[in-house]
Amino acid sequence: METINHGSGTLETIFAERSFNFDMLSITRAMLGIATLIFIAWLFSVDRKAISWNTVIKSLIIQVVIAFLVMFVTPVQDFFNFFGSCFVAVLGWTKAGSEFLFGAFVDTGKFGYIFAFQILPTIIFFSAFTSLLFYFGILQKIVWLFAWLMSRLIKLSGAESLSTVANIFVGMNEAPLVVKPYISKMSRSELMLVMTAGMSTMAGGVLAAYIGMLGNGIPELEIQFARHLLTASVMAAPGAVVISKILVPQTMKTEQNAEISKDKLGANVLEAISIGTIDGLKLAGNVAAMLLVFYALIAGGNNIISWLGSFRLMSALSFCIAVAGGCMAYWIVFLRKNRSSQIKFIRIKPSQIKYCAISFGVMSLLFTFVAMFYPSGDSINSTVSNFTDGRHTELSLQLILGYVFAPVIWLTGVAMQDVPLVGQLLGQKIILTEFVGYSELSNMLASNVFTETKSAIMATYVLCGFANFASVGIEIGGIGSIAPNQRATLSIFGMRALLGGTLAALISATIVGMMM
């Protein structure tokens, strides 16, 4: 991982760079990317005329300013590096507990990097540590300060500001607890921001886990990845505002002031630690089970897809056309028998239905014959290998996801050669989970597959947040249990929140990529 090249520099030297890389092509591409991502949000808006572009632009400017400060202003870099070093130090504390339980298995020099021993204990400890900070009121004060600034700069309501900022430090189910008394009374726009912020940001426990995964036990790299992961989570807060206020604009008057809920995790320090530890154990168990199942499903899916890739390309295309023709013939006959009104929609006269069905049926038989007996041509796997210059030797789920999400990743400014790799990571994050995405990114870094280090760093921003299909159900269930009267709204906005979290992460990646 230390040998990834970016021009003449290694990963460490790129992290140390502070000069602005003024590349007009890169900046133009990034501006196009941001405009396109905002346009996508606009297309899915529930009320386009009510969008407050003043709020959107202010939030976007805050994202840009945060990125600029972290990338080029030394005191701010030092501040984030300090917090990154704190995370790394706490990772060292976790290692002490892990060594007591697992002994020499924690030693990567002897047994290599074992996920269960290196990462899962981190999740448990950070959950307990966060509960302790919450019990003493430390996190609440930090959250209140940032929320006060955000509500004044962007004119958000007090409750949605508190919840949005809380997501930077705690999980998407814990953050709403900070404003528990207000959720049942929130407007649709406020609720949308609460959901989108939950999808966009990262909790402290998993943040520490990602630092350990990407740093791979190298303290210097852990600190630098910690800085970028922290920046990604902080940038995601105003990013969530940008997207959510386009998707569901605020049309009602809101309350500017709000107080953090006084609920504490436990009656005393020991109970707070116990509750945090148990919650962390549940989370670690869920992560372990989730990764086991999803990686197994990926392996199984790749075996099936690879087997399909062994067929000759012309035969496969012919078979697909044959199936499509057969389906069309069946559909037309079905319409005729049921005298469906859809006949008018496809503009076929009743007298012509018979001939159309026969035509599609003949086409299906013809291409079935071609698929079975066409004697020559390369297999799909061979075509894939030639097309990717040997980077992929066969058809796979990762390859498909990479090219499906390639257009939007190109807009963020990722190097052309690395676009399929980052597209693959985005696809795994959305369809599976961000944990799978970061785990795969860790493997990519260790294998040195990126052409440019810039792509690897931007990938950490692309993967930021909990925007995946599983999180939709988690948010509806978690926030719905706090405010049952909002369940209908939560269900309606679930998929929009997933879209919002994804777009917010992509905007952050685009802004950072523009400055590298």
Name the nearest CA neighbour of 280 among 208, 351, 339, 335.
208
The residue assigned the tokens 């910690």 is 226
Does the predicted model carry a pTM greater than 0.85? no
Predicted pLDDT of residue 18: 43
Q: How many residues does the chain have?
A: 516
Q: Which residues contact 276 (CB under 8 A, 6 or more apart)?
A: 127, 128, 129, 130, 131, 132, 265
**Both tokens assigned to 381:** 């796997």
Q: SS3 for 497?
A: helix
Query: What residues are paired with 379 via a beta bridge?
Result: 312
Predicted pLDDT of residue 330: 64
**pLDDT tens per residue across all 516 residues of the chain:** 334 443 334 455 445 544 445 567 778 888 999 999 999 999 999 988 989 899 899 999 999 998 888 888 888 888 888 877 877 777 777 777 777 777 766 665 665 556 676 677 877 887 788 788 888 878 778 777 777 777 778 878 777 888 888 888 777 767 777 777 788 888 888 899 989 998 998 877 678 788 888 877 777 788 888 888 889 988 998 999 999 999 999 887 766 665 666 666 677 888 888 888 888 788 778 777 777 887 788 788 888 878 777 766 565 566 566 666 666 666 666 655 555 444 444 455 555 555 565 665 666 566 565 555 555 556 667 777 776 666 667 777 778 888 888 889 998 888 888 998 999 899 889 888 888 889 889 888 888 888 888 888 999 999 998 888 888 887 888 788 778 888 888 888 888 999 999 999 999 999 998 887
Predicted pLDDT of residue 477: 80
Predicted pLDDT of residue 511: 93
Query: Angle at which helices 204-215 and 434-447 pack, to 10 degrees?
Result: 20
**Both tokens assigned to 393:** 């030797």
- Using alpha carbons only, give the angle 421, 426, 430 rounded to the nearest 5 degrees: 150
Predicted pLDDT of residue 325: 64
In whole angstroms, what is the distance from residue 407 CA to residue 354 CA? Answer: 42
Q: Which sequence spans correspond to the domains of the chain? A: 35-295+477-496, 311-378
In whole angstroms, what is the distance from residue 167 CA to residue 498 CA? Answer: 15
Q: Give the torsion sign (CA, 421, 459, 84, 93).
A: negative
- Looking from the CA of 23 toward its CB, the CA atoms found within 13 Å total 11
Whether 69 contacts 230, CB under 8 Å: no
